[in-house]
Amino acid sequence: MLFLTLIVPAIAFAASCPSLTRNLSRGMSGDDVKALQQFLIDQNFLGSGYDTGYFGPLTETAVKDFQCDKHVVCDGTPASTGWGVVGPKTRAAIAETCSHHQDQTTTDTHTDTTTTIIPPFAPSGAGSCEWSGRSVANGETVTAYRDYAVPSGSTCLSEERTCRNGDLSGSYRYSWCAVELAGMCTLDNIIALDSQYQTFYSYQTVPSWMTCNDVARMRQCFNGTFIGPAEFRFASCSVSAATTTTPAAPTGLRYSCASSGESVTLRWDPMPGAATYGIRLLETGTSTFTVINDWYVGTSFTTAIKPDVFYSWWIHANPNSTILGLYSVGDMFKCSRNGG
């Protein structure tokens, strides 16, 4: 007589169990977000390759699906009920899921080499099965999808799953699948649908005397490209701690036009404590920056411009090469063609 003990390994799954200590929500980023995404990928709630470290709309949807599946929450909004936010209850559900998979073993005694199959979903009473946040009646068949979203041009893979006395056949998890549109936009790990608006920032870090709203701008996804000023390119922004040596705003701002009117030289006085200078040159009446140079070393800068067009400009005095400092605005100017 042959006694067979089957141990279901959990080593591969354990590698994706995240250690989460803070609440995570849309717009955040970090190694813990990446670990969360890897967990959701392994659990088939998030598509492969989306472990970017940025908590965007796809990650939020995956978290919502996980919360529904684990009966944490399945309605409301992130603000009202926490649906889509990884808070204490969701972290506990993640830990429980990890513990369940790591500790789960199956021991079965047979007279041959057959083994018992572990059902992928627990029954919810009277022979029914639980799947995708709903109860599937005994004998009922549902259409399931492997992914909830696939790239443009791909096909959603589906299978029929049947509940038989509490056991649900198959393995596909999702009740729906969407094909990403060709017009979707991506920028700094943000994914947006065509016509959708998204907030971007012109700086990832601002000094303590500013707020991130000062450098924020809404950009709209249009036919695969975010429209709007290109300098607003960062998905997140943070305020730095106050520095002990903040240089004063630059003084002595002045300009001189080339005789052709096609270039201008901007000058300013050197400021004590300034390691670099931030230069902004804006074509007046537009949102088009001719110059964005955050960490310029020097007090004189020459650049090409359009003749007979008015420009606004300002200079920051930066304490280092990572924090933008105080600024002063120069006089509006226009360089006339052939002198002036």
* Domains defined for the chain, CATH in brackets: 5-103 (1.10.101.10), 120-179 (no CATH), 185-239 (no CATH), 254-334 (2.60.40.10)
The pLDDT score that the predictor gives to residue 177 is 75
Give the pLDDT confidence score for residue 117 in this predicted structure: 33
- Mean pLDDT per 10-residue run, the chain (340 residues)? 34 62 85 90 84 83 88 83 89 84 46 36 63 83 82 83 92 76 78 86 80 88 86 86 76 94 94 91 83 89 93 91 85 83
Is there a contact between 43 and 132 (Cβ–Cβ < 8 Å)?
Answer: no
For residue 187, report the phi and psi dihedrals to the nearest 5 degrees.
-160, 125
At 15 the pLDDT is 46
pLDDT at 105: 39
